[in-house]
Amino acid sequence: MATDASGGGKPSLLLSTLPKQLPSDFLKEITDGFSADRKLGQGGFGTVYKGFLQDGQAIAVKKLSDNSPVATEKQFKNEVGNLMAIQHENIVRLYGYCHELQKKVIEHNGRYILVDVVQSMLCYEYAPKGSLDKCIFDISSRPNWATCFKIIKGICQGLYFLHKGMDRPIVHLDLQPANILLDDNMVPKIADFGLSRLFGEEQTRINTINVVGAKGYMAPEYLYRGEISTRSDIYSLGVLIMEITTGQKNSPNDKDMCARNFINQVCQTWTDEHMASKYSSLDADSLQQVKACIETGLKCVDIDQKKRPSIVEIVDKLDGRLAL
């Protein structure tokens, strides 16, 4: 849930009573004019800023790039409304939005002209611990195994809801550590979900491919052929699970955008003996959790998408109810 500036508990009354549609001037004011000091991150569709409501409550404002190829106004509002209805512990809460037509002066062929620009913004709950990539790869800040396992299971629960808990599945298309946020209790929350509904699937793919951070998490059939299904997310989830379990970040390049080198390394290196050595302080049950995560991650990244487990099977495996 969103927390106040001090990192405290539940959303404030002010946040819970915000109108769904918010004016751009209001969002500009609470982010100090979208100042660089308030910048939390940047992705393929825009920049995220930290805002403060009058009562001190923090909120995240995603300012979409000018004239981002969003859907028509009616479709945009409908889809945002659907996304705002999503409430799950492991999914970042969407509280409001802005979708305004504004006049902007631009230079064109040496002349300054006045054009209409659609300014779109999304307002999310603020996650005080930041994104997952800031803690799992640094030995000094890396959580213990119990917390890592809780994070893995929480991400799986959030993806389960997106794939199975809706009238129609939401395919994330950009599941990676930077899009997993952590609250004060290290509960993981999936961010940037539903963008394919706002921008269209092909535009989402184009924007995602052009973002450096997304390389190494995209399924080959999505990256190279544009095939979109929940199995694309399962591939990304597999890479994510292996990164959290091993503490190693995959290092893709333009010739290896699907992290096959990283996957092969995990497959060859993470034997039972290696797991016991790396996690020497764990008891037998915890080592079994590590093994289940490595095995699950490797099955998720099968080149043959039909052989990848469903999110239902993954959740059951990590809960000890199923052998994949």
- Which segments of the chain does DSSP mark as H helices, in order? 13-16, 24-30, 73-84, 145-164, 195-199, 201-209, 220-225, 230-246, 260-269, 272-278, 284-300, 311-318
What is the rounded CA–CA span in Å between residue 91 and residue 125? 10
Give the span between the Cα atoms of 83 and 79, in whole angstroms.
Answer: 6
Tokens at 91, concatenated: 């999914």
State the catalytic residue, choosing from 66, 138, 167, 174: 174
Name which of 135, 244, 122 is nearest 193 in CA terms. 122
Residues 32, 34: Cα–Cα separation, whole Å: 5
Give the closest residue to 270 by CA, choosing from 246, 299, 239, 247.
246
**Residues facing residue 114 across a β-bridge:** 105
Residue type, 213: G
Task: Answer yes or no: is 28 a known binding residue.
Answer: no
Examine the residue annotation and report whether 174 is marked as an active-site residue of this protein. yes
Q: How far apart are the first and last CA of the chain?
A: 33
Active-site annotation, residues: 174
Residue ranges for the known binding site are 63
Residue ranges for the known binding site for ATP are 63
